[in-house]
Structure 1
Amino acid sequence: MCAEPAVSRSRAEAVALAARYAGQPHPARHLGEACRTAVHDAYSVGLTLAADAALAQRASLCAAGPLADHGERLQINLGEGPCVQALTQGTPVLANDLADPHTTRQWPVFAQQAQAHHIRAAFALPALHGPDPAQQSGVALTLYRDQPGPLSTADLHTAQLHTDAAELLLLAAPQPAEDDLTYAWYLPADAVVHQATGIISYRHTLTTGQALALLRAHAHTTDTDLTTLAHAIVHENLHLPDPPGTGPTDT
């Protein structure tokens, strides 16, 4: 009798893992914590969803452990990092040492700021079901560690298994409208960023990608956390300055 192919076994494992959390409140959080428990070395775990093909819009589904909140927030604030690269290219990004400029040349600002928060290595794994990034689900899991060094084969398999389970949970969730970014299993802190993006898009007659770029630029210019700025726009009626060549639709 022929042995079952490794890919089929891994898929079956992912299905079984996803089934444990299907129907639970905030399944991504439980999955991230489960991954953190299952890996051999000490990691923090982040799960990220890209909500459009251009990756202009991303949300953190989970930040488990002391490093993940900073790592996830930095990648969303800056629009760069290993997870962004992994989702863009559709391949894993294994950064053994964030102090290595060759490894981090595509995201030097993230690498610098991540190290300031004691993140020394990061490994981002997208859900992989084909070579074309446009056909990927947009789900990626990132492992953050406070020491440099490679990711073991066993931990790579475990992390990829949890990434694939997260994709299955997402596919099983109710489908939102095309422009609806308020998935039920988003963290509330991230939902406000997308609410602010929609408000900016309406006020300044911009696409959602342009609106998010404006939000990020203003956060960077004013040295403000992206979520804090988004909260002020949504809940305190803060208006951003008009970008050059545009004007608001309301007064």
Structure 2
Amino acid sequence: MELPELADLMGTVADTLRTPVTAEDSLDLITSSVVATIPGITGASISVTSTDGTIETLAPTDPLAAEVDQLQYDLGEGPCLDAALSEPVVQVDNLGSDDRWPQYGPKAAALGMHSQLSFQFRAAPRVRGALNLYADEPQTFDADAHYIAGMYADWAAVLLGWSRQESTMTEALESRTTIGTAIGILMERYQLDANRAFTFLVRTSQTGNVKLREVAAGVVRDTAKKART
């Protein structure tokens, strides 16, 4: 996408940000964006634990994602539980043959889920959550999937008022330089807070069918170009 096209698209997206964005809308946007931006992902959800030990699903992209989440809760085993309760990242390349979850794996495969990637994020005190990615094919997740999913998990934590792995919002932004720089530019250009600037990037990515990193890079290039003129 050329810079003039990107500028026009950003103007269109900016108009949508004049309406209020609720936390529920933002979480829905995160899970739907994961599906849209990571190749091969067919569903996503957010699992949230509470201090009384209960766990629930937020912002599932489809009924099947919610169903396999609930299956893990009911069985007391599965990648989303491991991520939410103990492990920072849990990846499964073939649910049907992975023996870590002898009950859940075959049942999930029978439902058509064959790969899963879950990222933990933390809340104080003693509350954790996980961003869950699902795919209907085995061997789906590569290094890019980890990078992008980790970024979305950071933002799920921020939107819920949490900090993933005890990092602050600033540290999360700094760890993803291009996206963080683009968010800073948008905050100044459109007088947005960080959450809405991130929403801006994601909506632009979805509307233009452009990868999130490419949209962010375009924002940075456009700003640098204007600074030189």
Distance 1:149 1:135 in 2: 35
Confirm whether residue 122 of structure 1 aligns to residue 121 of structure 2: no
CA contact (8 A) 2:48 2:130 kept: yes
Aligned residues: 144
CA distance in 1, matches of 2:138, 2:72: 19
- Structure 1, residues 133-157: CA drift from partner, whole Å, max 9, x if none? x877512111111111041111111
Does 2:56 correspond to 1:59?
yes
User: Is the 1:125–1:163 Cα contact (8 Å) retained in structure 2?
Assistant: yes
Question: Aligned with 1:37: secondary structure?
Answer: helix
Is this contact kept in 2: 1:29–1:63, CA < 8 A? yes
Percent identity, aligned pairs only, is 22
- Report the equivalent of 2:139: 149
Cα contact 2:87–2:120 (8 A) shared by 1: yes
Secondary structure at the aligned position of 2:132 is classed as strand
Give the RMSD, CA atoms, in angstroms.
Answer: 2.7
Q: Determine if the alignment matches structure 1 residue 112 to structure 2 residue 102.
A: no
The residue aligned with 2:169 is none
- CA deviation profile, 1:27-81 (whole Å, cap 9, x unmatched): 32221111111112233111111112x8x31010121146412221212222221
Secondary structure of the residue aligned to 1:118 is coil
Q: Which amino acid aligns with 2:74?
A: N
Q: Is the 8 A contact 1:45 1:142 kept in 2?
A: yes
The structure richer in helix per residue is 2
**In the alignment, which residue of structure 1 is the partner of 2:96?**
99
**TM-score (normalizing by structure 2):** 0.55
Is 1:163–2:153 an aligned residue pair?
yes
- The residue type paired with residue 111 of structure 1 is G
Q: Give the structure 2 partner of residue 49 of structure 1.
A: 48
- Which consecutive unaligned segments of at least 5 residues does structure 1 have? 1-19, 173-251
* Paired residues of 1:137 and 1:167 also in contact (CA < 8 A): no
The alpha-carbon distance between structure 1 residues 168 and 22, as it changes in their structure 2 partners (threshold 3 A), is: farther
Amino acid at match of 2:102: P
- How high is the TM-score relative to the length of structure 1? 0.51
